[in-house]
Structure 1
Amino acid sequence: MHEAHDGQSKAVVQFFEKFLGTVRFGNDPFAPILGYRNLVQGNVTINRVYYIEGLNHNLFSVGQFCDADLEVAFKKSTCFVRDLQGNDLFIGNRGTDLYTISHQELTSSTPLCLMANATPTQAWLWHRRLSHLNFDYINPLSKKDIMIGLPKLKYVKDQLCSSCELSKAKRSSFKS
């Protein structure tokens, strides 16, 4: 574990040096995860922000924002991280397939990155696991902690599920 003071505040940043595995990039190379730190921005804490060798950025997933009760919205060239009241906490800009939050947005001294082509979100994973259950039903299950193992997140339908769309398609009758 390393402790360092960031340049803009008096907060202590703790870096936990530990090999945690590897990450795979879109063009197939692997890089080791050499440690992590917890990012504190005001009263929000993002846990286990990974440091990847050779990336020169801290890496975290959209799920980490969701775990901190934040919402993430993506537009064509911009990404917004908001609290549950809708206030923008971070704004990122899109490169090729990567959204980057500049260090001016944060009290940290290095930029943070969001992967644009991430695996399906937890919301869609649980939608499929629950036999394509409507999000309006998944949210109360999560909020009231009715189902064991279902993460306490806000499940948002951001697109139409192709399987659900197909199941609702009209079928023409057979001609005899």
Structure 2
Amino acid sequence: MTENISYLFDFEEINEGYVAFSENPKGGKITGKGKIRTCKLDFDDVYFIKELEFNLFTVSQMCDKKNSVLFTDTECVVLSSDFKFPNETHVLLWIPRENNMYNVDLKNIVPSGDLTCLFAKATLDESNLWPRRLGHINFKTMNKLVKGNLVRGLPSKVFENNHTCVACKKGKQHKSS
């Protein structure tokens, strides 16, 4: 989709309806379509939408032409159809396309056999530091926070009570009369 009619050749006017945008619920009217040719890549059936602010392309359209599309945290790379991974060990997840969707089947990803969970014990300093930072909470609650990954920055360790916090000891004392 593009808002610039000068990019398109073999342009034909059409009345295909509307495309919705998040900032404009009414969206933009599709008033034509054409083709875009670059030195390495051809785009067919590109819709002309005057209200569009950015050029958009469909990933599945690139894949239909036997190209590969790679997304990183900063860019999208369209690879030629003859591109091969130099080493299959770099592939962490392979999801087949079915009905124009990439559906992740967790049964194939999550191991079904015995799992080994490794936990480290917190050092004496950590066992005293983190409960103090969190208002002298008890160690059972502290370990629940670790298990649920509920506190950002909290190390994934088992905290054990060594009864060395003076403030906690005083808080548990009761006056008898």
- TM-score of the two chains, using structure 2 as the length reference: 0.43
Q: Which has the higher helix share?
A: 2
Larger Rg, first or second structure (1 or 2): 2
User: What is the TM-score of this pair, normalised by structure 1?
Assistant: 0.43
Higher fraction of strand: 1
